[in-house]
Amino acid sequence: MAQKWIYRLEELRSKDNDRVGKKCANLGEMVHMGMRVPPGFAISVDGYERFMDETGAGEEIRKYVEDAGESIHKIEKQVEAGRLIRGIIEGKDMPEGMKHELYTFYDELCETVGMPDVAVATRSSGAVSMPGQMETYLNVKGKRELLKKIIKVWGSAFTTRAIAFRLEKGMEMSKAPIGVAVLKMVNARSAGVTLTVQPTTGDLTKTVVEGNWGLGESVVSGEITPDSFLVDKVSRSIVSSTISNKPRMVVYKKDGIGMVSVPAEKQDRACIDERELDEIVRISLEVETYFDMPQDMEWVFDEDMQFPENLFWVQTRPAKFSEKKEDDSEYLAELMTRIFKM
């Protein structure tokens, strides 16, 4: 029997990083922690390799690189190589055996969520971080389309930047440790991020939650001023909240995503209520405890489902934050002089 190359998310843990890439391994770990993630499956690096092998694309690429010789180190040649190699990959159809397996998983997903041709997102999941290899296709519907997009994600391992990176690191050109995450599209009512540390001050006693209507991309990209909540970790009470005017949001469009206007009556309303905020904080603190370090997480509330089933998590990773500000250290130093005055 051929090697297994598609996995259910619940079969994965962070140790599977090399097999399915960081994003998928992370999603598996999240499922394991009891975080709700959008239903879906993961395509492993083995899937990529098998495709390259069986279709002969791998051989063609090797040959191309060999012929190119030293010239591949020139940037013009790399641009050409990227275009050519992506052409080779995208020009191949998926072998029948693989196609069959992929369709079985997709059918199962459609059945689970109770929707025929359910819309999914296909995201690249690299085992090592590599710049320029971040292709994501949203709102993918139907088997045929899914198959095409997966191949495109594989092809995205050969952007000019990715090629240059691999040459620089002395990595083999035809290999690409790339996995693919296939996840049901959440019909996002509101979405955003939570950081279990105040990024500016490094204050570890508070959690920051920011959100907007629609998809989380508007919050992550910083294009709009989101609603912002500061919550005390111990008491879980809201220390401060800022409800901003949010004129625009990101939604799914026919081919991917795009900005639209927020209906006037919703622009000045909070995009999540207190109960939802509390649920976000509760889970984020559990995850922080699990990893024993502050987390940077992305969440989505689904339009069609009921609380708390409508809260989905799409990402958690160690938070980047600046160390405690000088002022606080100086304040502590000042306090320390007090012990000499008693």
Partner 1 sequence: MKVYDVVPGLEFDAERDFEQSPAWFLDGTHSVPPWTPMFGWFWVSFCRHGMQYGAEKLSLPTVKGWDWRFHNGGGYLTLLLVKSEEEKQRREKKFQKAILPFIQDYDGLWNGYVEEILGRYENLKKLDLDTADNLDLLDNFEETINTCRRMWEIHMYMMYGTYTAYILFENMCRELAGIDDTSPLFHNLVSGFDNKVFQVDKRLWEFSKRAREEGLEMAFLEGELEGIKSRLEGSDKGRAFMKDFSEFMDEDGWRMQRMSEMNLPTWVEDPTPALMNVKQFLQKGGGFNLEAERAKVSDARLVAEKKVMEKVPQEQQGWFTQLMRLAQKSGVFSEEHDHYLDLYTHAMMRRSALGLGKRWAQEGAIDDAEDIFFLQPDEVRRAGINPDQFDMRYIVERRKAEWKGWCENPNPPAMLKEGFDLDQAMAVLVQSNDPIALKVVVGAMPQVRPELKADLYGTCGSPGVAEGPARVIMNEDELGLVQEGDILVAASTSPSWTPIFSMIKGVIVDRGASLSHAAIVGREYGIPVVMNVFEGTAKIRSGQKVKVDANMGAVYILDK
- Looking at the Cβ atoms of 1 and 234, the one nearer to partner 1 is 234
Positive or negative, the CA dihedral 98, 176, 254, 121 is positive
Shortest Å, Cβ 230 to partner 1: 10
Distance CA 229, CA 210 (A): 6
Q: Which residues bind partner 1 (CB under 8 A)?
A: 201, 203-206, 232, 234-235, 237, 239, 323-324, 328-342
Shortest Å, Cβ 206 to partner 1: 8
Query: Which H helix or E strand runs over 295?
Result: strand 295-302
Shortest Å, Cβ 228 to partner 1: 17
Shortest Å, Cβ 229 to partner 1: 15
- Looking at the Cβ atoms of 264 and 335, the one nearer to partner 1 is 335
Shortest Å, Cβ 335 to partner 1: 6
- Cβ atoms 250, 215 nearer than 8 A: yes
Residue position matching structure tokens 């910083």:
222
Tell me how long the chain is.
342
Residue position matching structure tokens 């989505």:
300
What order do you get walking across the sheet with 136-140 strand by strand?
A: 6-8, 40-43, 178-184, 120-126, 136-140
- Looking at the Cβ atoms of 47 and 294, the one nearer to partner 1 is 294
- Cβ atoms 312, 188 nearer than 8 A: no
- Looking at the Cβ atoms of 92 and 233, the one nearer to partner 1 is 233
- Looking at the Cβ atoms of 83 and 325, the one nearer to partner 1 is 325
